[in-house]
Structure 1
Amino acid sequence: MKTLIIEGVRTVAPKIKRFDLKAEDNGPLIQFEAGAHIAVQLKDGSSRQYSLIDFGENLPYENQRYTLGILLEQDGSGGSAFMHSLQVGDAIQVEAPKNDFPLIEDDRPAVLIAGGIGVTPIISMAAALKRAGKPYTLHYSGRTLETMAFKEELSELCGEALTLHHDDVPARCLDLGALIPTLDTSSHIYVCGPKGMIEAVREQALSAGFGKEQIHFELFASPAPSGDDAGDGFEVEVKSSGEVFWVPQDKSIVDVLEEGGVDLVYDCQRGDCGICQVDVLEGEPDHRDVVLTDDEKAAGDVMHICVSRAKSKRLVLDL
């Protein structure tokens, strides 16, 4: 953990604040690449992840500050409320930058798609692509123009590469069904935003001829649990050992199996990296990831155990 000081705080849109952070000793910070995030420690010892923003203002790797853009979520888990309570001069503990959403280093053009506060990692991608002289376009969507943060900075950064979409003007809504078929299918697509947007982009892009390896995404919040998690919970059987674990409503399969000593491989814990995928031998999963296609979800033979749950009373997993 490293101690950072809040150097600046300002409101950039309704319920969205920009935070500029500096090192406690005013020294240089660890460099980061587009798509990276830091984990901020909360008062209870838990942590929340926030994307790092690079507006292209500094030369590459001369990072004297980190910038975050954070939406206050009324029904969130407390991270945004903690961050919005901070003032200039306050200290926070953060982990080193980590990148689960990197730009692919090749010569293909890039299409950047952002929804709401999911624009934060996309800003850094636009800055990196512009510095590298690589072709890109950015489609940024929000419910209203007023609620869209950083649109002025993006306009200055991206120029004609930027298109703003907002639902309060019907002619300006983001129509993925119209947009995606017009894209060069050799492009990489990077999308960050709500789960529904990510799923729609993936399905439309796959139908338009894009390969799965060309579609990159990050969910800006953990998928919210629904109200019917198979009653109070469900059982998970580990096939290799025959052990059976009870998964309550307030814990994930990963949480329970790790507590039980099962060796697991996972990373994002948001359902958008795919690393925790396991085969389902029996039972019906309740898919809450954004990795699997509709057909893969319907087949029900694999699942992502960091966020997905069960519709049946028991799952038997190939672990």
Structure 2
Amino acid sequence: MSALTLPEIDAVVASARPVATDVVLLTLRAADGSELPPWQPGAHLDVEVQPGVERQYSLCGDPADRSVYQVAVLREPDGRGGSEHLHAHVREGDRLRVRGPLNHFGLHAVPPGGSYAFVAGGIGITPLLPMMRAADAAGIPFTLAYAGRSLERMPFVDELVAAYGDRVSVYTSELGHRFALSTLSGGTPSAPVAVYCCGPARMLTELEQVALDAGWPPDALHLERFEAREVTEPVRQESFEVELELSGMTLEVPPDRSILDVVEEAGVLVLSSCREGTCGTCETPVVSGEVDHRDSVLTPAEQEDNEVMMICVSRAACPRLVLEL
């Protein structure tokens, strides 16, 4: 069994509309016409592109509209083939199997006097769209710095400028415009700023360094990653034991295999998708033991709490872990 259960939905593509060069907006409905599961800004779906092939896409529509989900898909010619398949073969009326929503990038409330600073790189704009709508509806000040290669490759840029005016700053590399991440701030105790960023790995790494150098509060920076962050060698080089508390099994995890691989081989069902620590689907509660967190989902504070782990990449930092599986 799995500690995490997500709805599985048989969806039909209501529309597939280009919204920028190499970006298509898919609008999905439940095939049986039922209301879709609720979600909050920052959530994503696991989309079964082909049998056994899943990809994660941020929900970018309106959480109040339970009749449809919307995801924007960037064509990545040098990727693993998922986006190419969706662009080349998925049309209005086609069926897609999706799972979710799942949210590890939720929009947290700011105290009175606080504000949001949103930073997007290219297709990283998608999870920020419903966040900005929520902030605007609540009357909370925000800014958006939106960077991309060219205006033609930046989805929703015209709509954003029209809706939010000078709260939106657009930067295009082809014109030599680059946003200086160092100008961002986590604010002050009396006027905190919550910074939400989604984009390429280089942007996120640079912003993490900016926050560290400037001494931002630990809860000021929130990141959504498209790809796994680089990690060092595991804390523990040798094998370790994993006790599955609910299944009554104790398994040995060798250095060259993941906990997820070993658990699946033992016949224990665990939901998983990306298998590289970016989607959060295999999140598993930790009963006891110290975790070597190697995921790209949990915040440093959440990793320090040691309450959950992503068993596709994270390992033990002790001889024995006990998991709620």
**Separation in structure 2 between the aligned mates of residue 318 and residue 223 of structure 1, nearest angstrom:** 26
User: SS of the residue aligned with 2:144?
Assistant: strand
User: SS of the residue aligned with 1:156?
Assistant: helix
Q: Deviations over 1:263-317 (max 9, x none)?
A: 9x99885545897898589xxx9x7848688xx9xxxxxx9764479xxxxx976
**Separation in structure 1 between the aligned mates of residue 57 and residue 105 of structure 2, nearest angstrom:** 12
User: SS of the residue aligned with 1:187?
Assistant: strand
Supply the RMSD in Å over aligned alpha carbons.
Answer: 3.8
User: SS of the residue aligned with 2:13?
Assistant: strand
- For 1:220-239, list aligned pairs within 5 A: 220-222=226-228, 236-238=238-240
Specify the code of the residue in structure 2 equivalent to 1:96.
G
2:260 to 255, 267, 270: 255
Match of 1:22 in 2: 29
Q: Please, what TM-score do these two structures have when normalized by structure 2? A: 0.73
The Cα shift of 1:162 comes to: 1.0
- For 1:42-57, list aligned pairs within 5 A: 42-54=49-61
- For 1:61-210, list aligned pairs within 5 A: 61-84=64-87, 85-107=89-111, 108-170=114-176, 172-177=177-182, 179-181=183-185, 184-185=187-188, 186-210=192-216
The Cα shift of 1:4 comes to: 1.3
User: SS of the residue aligned with 2:102?
Assistant: coil
Q: 1:243 to 1:93 in 2, by over 3 A?
A: closer
Specify the code of the residue in structure 2 equivalent to 1:92.
L
User: SS of the residue aligned with 2:70?
Assistant: strand
2:240 and 2:253 in contact (8 A); partners too:
yes
The Cα shift of 1:112 comes to: 0.8
The Cα shift of 1:132 comes to: 1.4
Q: Deviations over 1:33-66 (max 9, x none)?
A: 1001111123223422111112x6xxx6233211
2:44 and 2:58 in contact (8 A); partners too:
yes
The Cα shift of 1:19 comes to: 0.9
1:52 and 1:68 in contact (8 A); partners too:
yes
**Separation in structure 1 between the aligned mates of residue 12 and residue 171 of structure 2, nearest angstrom:** 35
User: SS of the residue aligned with 1:100?
Assistant: coil
Q: Say which structure, 1 or 2, has more relative contact order (CA 8 Å, 6+ apart).
A: 2
**Separation in structure 1 between the aligned mates of residue 263 and residue 45 of structure 2, nearest angstrom:** 24
**Separation in structure 1 between the aligned mates of residue 271 and residue 75 of structure 2, nearest angstrom:** 28
**Separation in structure 2 between the aligned mates of residue 262 and residue 216 of structure 1, nearest angstrom:** 36
User: SS of the residue aligned with 1:146?
Assistant: helix
User: SS of the residue aligned with 1:190?
Assistant: strand
1:199 and 1:290 in contact (8 A); partners too:
no
Specify the code of the residue in structure 2 equivalent to 1:80.
S
1:213 to 211, 219, 222: 219
Match of 2:45 in 1: 38
**Separation in structure 1 between the aligned mates of residue 14 and residue 251 of structure 2, nearest angstrom:** 53
**Separation in structure 1 between the aligned mates of residue 319 and residue 228 of structure 2, nearest angstrom:** 23
**Separation in structure 2 between the aligned mates of residue 24 and residue 304 of structure 1, nearest angstrom:** 31
Q: Deviations over 1:75-134 (max 9, x none)?
A: 322321232120111011112312111001233311111111111001111111111111
Q: 1:161 to 1:318 in 2, by over 3 A?
A: farther
Q: 1:20 to 1:244 in 2, by over 3 A?
A: closer
Percentage identity across paired residues of the two chains = 31
2:56 and 2:279 in contact (8 A); partners too:
no
Q: 1:15 to 1:99 in 2, by over 3 A?
A: same
Q: Please, what TM-score do these two structures have when normalized by structure 1? A: 0.75
Specify the code of the residue in structure 1 equivalent to 2:256.
V
1:21 and 1:66 in contact (8 A); partners too:
yes
Specify the code of the residue in structure 1 equivalent to 2:159.
E
- For 1:286-301, list aligned pairs within 5 A: 289=296
The Cα shift of 1:143 comes to: 2.0
In the alignment of these two chains, the number of paired residues is 287
Match of 2:3 in 1: none
**Separation in structure 2 between the aligned mates of residue 273 and residue 254 of structure 1, nearest angstrom:** 16
More off after superposition, 21-30 vs 92-101: 21-30
